[in-house]
Structure 1
């Protein structure tokens, strides 16, 4: 694993200068080339690892964004249903209000709003009868109580007959109450769906927040990737520069060898000519001299 602190170099000139290229020996340059090559490979491996980590993080970011979008779509769908139920609730409440207004109007026409309803009258009668049966009363108080009971019974019977003659009023009340109950059902649905929509909204916000956090990590990893890749490129460039210098040195050595061979050939040719001149003048030459003459082509 390449340490973070070693990724400072971003310029090949900082790794090896032109002056160093000229001054270092071939052996030193070969060692440097190996170091640059190995370091380049390490950095390329690190850059590849970081690129892979970055891509994984970007994929996770996309997953979170997709998740947030799903919650958004679900929220919007639920909000549409909330609006539909609201409209139905409001329409039903308006209808119920109209029906109850008609009930009140009908009761006003029948003067049913004055006094108590049948259930209340029945309860009053039962209480008075219970009092008559359980309490000890004076004759005068008992007559007053009996008179009250009779009056309540007459009022009860009268209101009952009035209502029985107006069955449509009771039907109107039932209809109004049914409509109001239906409106209440839609209101409950509005509350239920609105709560569910809010949950999806909260989950959407959380998913977007997580996506932003992961995206920040991915951006940091990308910067690390670029840093490692640039350092790898710098080491590769330094390696190439050293290789180029090594080729120049090889070429120089080859030229020097050629010059050395040419010089030796020229020296051998001059020596052979000198031997040949001695040979022509009748001097005795030994076997080695003859070999040199043969090699030079003079014999």
Structure 2
């Protein structure tokens, strides 16, 4: 990450400056350090605020992704439930269709000619018997053929009568198969919806990662600026400490000068007092000096 601060705007102070600069120079330097510190603290606060906003957005995206994850998992559970029902129903339908085929085989309904075809053939043979002149042998063979067709027709009709249950069974198998198809349709619809939530979850997590990267960058900028602000504050404190030392030195020098002046005034007053005791005449200024020192 590139630096966010221009170091040329920062204020630096060396130990040599701290020891040798005049009080006026240090006061001016302290002001610059204070102003730059406040400026950096304000910038650090802005960086922290931007970082916190981004972190909040990251949490929102993570929450959004989690919502899609929960919805996806919920839908996948429903998909599994419908799959199980579909598979159970398909298995049941297969069993029913197998039973239908078995009964058809047992009844042999599909073998031989259809009822309509047999009825037509019998009518044609009966019409031939009634309209054609046949010898005894052909007549007998024709009658036997008609009887054979009638027996086959009767047997076919009896088997169809027995197949009523078969039709019901086949209808039930079709119904079960249709119900299985409905569950399969639900599986497809729910799976598609689950995939949509999965895709949205992935997208939300990706956006959260991107925003988190921005937040991390803002945090690094905040750290850089805050460290600079802290350094300026430390230097400001150092200068303030030095100024207090200088103030103390000045006070001590002033006190020493004052004490020196007081000592000189006391010595002068004692000399004047000695003259007074010896009978010399004192002027007004001398009397005031005696009064200031308490000798008069």
Partner of 1:83: 80
Maintained 8 Å contact 1:100/1:176: yes
* 1:256-295 Cα deviation digits (max 9, x unpaired): 0001111111121222233334444454443222322332
1:4 is paired with a residue of what secondary structure?
coil
Q: After alignment, is 64-73 or 272-281 more displaced?
A: 272-281
Aligned position for 1:212: 209
2-structure distance, mates of 1:76, 1:108: 47
Structure 2 counterpart of 1:199: 196
Mapped to 1, the partners of 2:64 and 2:153 lie a distance apart of 67
| CA deviation profile, 1:134-163 (whole Å, cap 9, x unmatched) | xxxxxxxxxxxxxxxxxxx99999756632
Question: How do residues 279-298 of structure 1 correspond to structure 2 at under 5 angstroms?
Answer: 279-298=276-295
Distance in 1 of aligned mates of 2:160 and 2:108: 11
Distance 1:186 1:7, change over 3 A: farther
CA distance in 2, matches of 1:41, 1:156: 112
Distance change >3 Å, CA 6–CA 201, structure 1 → 2: same
1:222, CA displacement in angstroms? Answer: 1.2
- Structure 1: distance between partners of 2:36 and 2:67: 46
Identify the residue that residue 224 of structure 1 maps to in structure 2. 221
Residues 55-104 of structure 1 show CA distances to partners (whole Å, capped at 9, x for unaligned) of 11111111111111110111001101100111111111111111111111
1:236 is displaced (CA, Å) by 1.0
CA distance in 2, matches of 1:288, 1:193: 115
Instruction: State the alpha-carbon separation in 1 of the partners of residues 29 and 154 from structure 2.
Output: 120
Instruction: State the SS of the aligned residue for 1:243.
Output: helix
1:75–1:197 contact (8 Å) kept in structure 2: yes
Choose which of 101, 104, 108 in structure 2 pairs with 1:107.
104
Equivalent residues in 2 for 1:93-242 (5 A)? 93-114=90-111, 162-242=159-239
Structure 1 position 117, deviation (Å): 7.4
For residue 57 of structure 1, give the secondary structure of its aligned residue in structure 2: helix
Deviation at 1:177, TM superposition (A): 0.8
Instruction: State which of 222, 241, 246 in structure 2 corresponds to 1:249.
Output: 246
Q: 2:41 aligns with which of 44, 59, 63?
A: 44
TM-score in terms of structure 1 length: 0.80
Q: Do the aligned residues in 2 keep the contact of 1:71 with 1:201 (CA within 8 Å)?
A: yes
- Greater shift in the superposed pair: 241-250 or 268-277: 268-277
Report the equivalent of 1:6. Answer: 6
Secondary structure at 1:5 match in 2 = coil
Closer/same/farther in 2, CA of residues 222 and 115 from structure 1, 3 Å limit = farther
